[in-house]
Structure formats: C-alpha cells, structure tokens
Amino acid sequence: MAAIKVVWHPNVDGQPGSHCFVQFRRKGETIYIKSEDEFDENFTILRGLEPNQLYEIRAVVVDGDYFTESDPEEVEMYADGPYIQGSSAVASTRWFIGMMLALAWLLLVLVLACIIK
C-alpha cells in the first residue's frame, strides 16, 4: 500500500480555523474518505492508498460549525511515489490574459505616440 504526505498552509491573516483534515477518493467514485482531524500540525499522512490509482484529494479547514474545502487535486499513485496533476489550464489562462493586456497597453501607447507626432 502507498502513502502520501499532504501539507496545507492556513491563512494566518484571517481566521485560520481550529483544525484541518483531508478528504480523498478514487477518481470516479462519489464518496470521500475522511482522514483523522489534525489539531497541531499542518500536514497529515494518508496511508493505504493503492498504487496505479488516480485519487482526488482536498484539504478541509474547520472553524466551529463552519468548514471550507480546497479545490481537489488529482494525484496518481505509482509504486515509486505519487505524481500530482497540476492545474495548468488556470495558470496558462492567466498568463495568456496578462500577455494580451500587456500587448494592448503597448499598442495603445504606440497609437498615442503616433497621434502626438
């Protein structure tokens, strides 16, 4: 059986919550399995994961009766360790929007320079 260490970084500016736990499930299943609540550390170790399986893992922060879940991350377990699927679609979309805005700004500066001359 495989294991993975899940680390979270609580927001210390606002209300970081009283404790955290992790939920995980095999990709395609509907029910999440809950880890033990963690009150003292910013990590937990998930044990008993099967190699060559794709899992969805998310951290949950609890503050009294309220809880907040992170976006799920896909982790593929191999015999020699996990492989985390990055959310590259969001990163590349932000990069593209930023590049287009910079290009539009430069084009605007060029048009204004031509009008002034």
Annotated domain spans of the chain: 2-86, 87-117
Residue 91 has pLDDT above 60, yes or no: no
Tens of pLDDT, residue by residue over 44-69, are 888 878 888 888 888 888 887 888 88
d(CA 108, CA 106): 5
Tens of pLDDT, residue by residue over 11-36, are 666 666 778 888 889 888 889 988 88
Query: 28: helix, coil or strand?
Result: coil
Give the model's pLDDT for residue 74: 85
pLDDT bin (cut points 50, 70, 90) of residue 84 is low
Residue 115 has pLDDT above 70, yes or no: yes
Give the model's pLDDT for residue 51: 81
- Tokens describing residue 71: 């976006």
* DSSP per position, 69-80: EPPPEEEEEETT
d(CA 8, CA 23): 13
- Closest among 76, 44, 83 to 60, alpha carbons compared: 44
Domain 2-86: CATH class, spelled out = mainly beta
pLDDT bin (cut points 50, 70, 90) of residue 4 is confident
- Closest among 83, 30, 14, 15 to 53, alpha carbons compared: 83
- Closest among 77, 69, 61 to 26, alpha carbons compared: 77
